[in-house]
Amino acid sequence: MSSNWLTREEKSQFSPFENLHRAMPTENTGLRSQYPLKFAILVTAPPLDKASDTAFYFLQAALKKGHIINQVFFYAEGVYHGNQLIYLENPDLIYRWQDLAAQYALKFVLCSASCARRGIMGKEQASYFEKKGCNLRENFEIASLSVWFAEMHIANRVMVFGEML
Amino acid sequence: MKTLLMIKRRFSSPELAKESLDMTFAATSLEFHVSLLFLDDAIFYLLKSSAVPADIARWENSLTALFAALPFYDIQKIYVSQEAMQQRNLQVEDLLLPVISLPNAEINTLVCQYDRVLS
C-alpha cells in the first residue's frame, strides 16, 4: 500500500465523524430499552409558525421526561429565532426559548448560510460581510451545516419541525 | 450511515430550493450515503426540458439543471412515487435521470431501510 493513505488513527485526528459511530447503538432494540433517547432537533419554521410552537412543546416535554437533547439546529426560515430585533406584543414567544436553554443547558445553533441570506449576523459575520450592526440573540450561535450532521449522526431519533424539502 | 431525503413539493422561491439542495449536497460531502425520494409535485424537477409543462416558471426550469447534476454528487439512488407519476401522466422515460419507481405501498418498507430520514 502507498504510504500516502492515512491510517484510521491519523484520520480521526481531524475528522469529527470518524469516532462518532462508536456512540451509535449497534442494533435497534426498541424504544423502551434505549431510554433515555438522544434526539437531534431541526427547526425550519419561523418563530410565529405553528410548527415552532410544536417544536418548543416537544422539547419541553422530552427534556422533562429525561431524554437527551444537546442542541437545537435552526435552518432556513427557522433562523429568525435568533434575531434579537424581533418585537412581539407577546415577548414570551421568543424568550421562552432562552428560558428553556438556561434551564437545561441547551445550545441553539443557526445555519450560517441561512443567516447570511436573512440578515442575521453576529459580530464575526458582520465584520466579514462588512455590515455595521449585529442582531444575533444571546445564547444563539452561528455554525455550518456539518454541526447538524454530526448531531444527526450520533442521535437515536431525528425530528424535523417545519417544511424543508 | 444511510440517509433518505424526501422532496415532496414545488418550492415557493429559488432560495428555499437551494437550501434544500444544500442539505443534500452537505450530506453527501460528509460521506453519508444519501438517497432521494421524490413525491407529488417535486417530480417536475426531474423532467427533461422537452417534457416540462409551459406553466412552470423560468427559475424553476433553471433548477432542473441543478437536479440534473445529482449523480455527480454521489447520490446513491433516486426513487419516485409511481402514483405521483401516474396522476401527472408522466413516464419514467420523461425523466432526466435513471430512477426507481415505487408504488406508495412499498415506500413504507423503503423508509424502514434507512437509518435517518429527513423530509
Q: Is residue A50 within 8 Å of residue A57, measured between CB atoms? A: no
Q: Please report the pLDDT score of residue A54 as a whole number.
A: 93
The beta-carbon neighbor of A76 closest among B1, B19, B32 is B19
Is A10 part of the contact surface with chain B (CB cutoff 8 Å)? no
Q: What is the pLDDT of residue A20?
A: 46
Q: What is the Cα–Cα distance from A161 to A164, expressed in whole angstroms?
A: 9
Average per-residue pLDDT in chain B?
83
Q: What b/e readout covers B35-54, taking b as 16+ CB neighbours within 10 angstroms?
A: bbbbbeebbbbbbeeeeeee
Contact A114 B19 (CB under 8 A): yes
Best CA proximity match to A136, nearest among A157, A110, A101: A110
- pLDDT > 80? residue B61: no
Whether a cis peptide bond, with omega within 30° of 0, leads into A36 is: yes
> How would you label B82-115 residue by residue, b for 16+ Cβ within 10 Å and e otherwise?
bbbbeeeebeeebbbeebebbeeeebeebeeebe
- The whole-number pLDDT of residue A14 equals 53
C-alpha cell at A31: 424504544
Residue of A nearest to B19 (CA): A76
pTM of the model: 0.81
Q: Which of A75, A158, A165 sits opposite B6 (nearest CB)?
A: A165
Region for A127 from its dihedrals, namely left if φ exceeds 0, alpha if ψ lies in -120 to 50, beta otherwise: alpha
Which pLDDT score is estimated for B95?
85
Contact A42, A75 (CB under 8 A): yes
Chain B contact for A153, CB < 8 A? Answer: yes
Could you tell me the pLDDT band of residue B56, with boundaries at 50, 70 and 90? low
Which three three-digit cell numbers place residue A160?
Answer: 424535523
Exposed/middle/buried for A76, CB within 10 Å: 0-12, 13-18, 19+? buried
Percent of chain B with pLDDT over 90: 5
B68 Cβ contact list (under 8 Å, min separation 6): B96, B97
The pLDDT of residue A10: 61
- Residue A69 has what pLDDT? 92
Give this complex's ipTM: 0.82
The rounded average pLDDT for each run of 10 residues, N- to C-terminus, in chain A (165 residues) is: 56 51 49 74 91 93 90 92 88 86 91 91 91 89 91 89 81
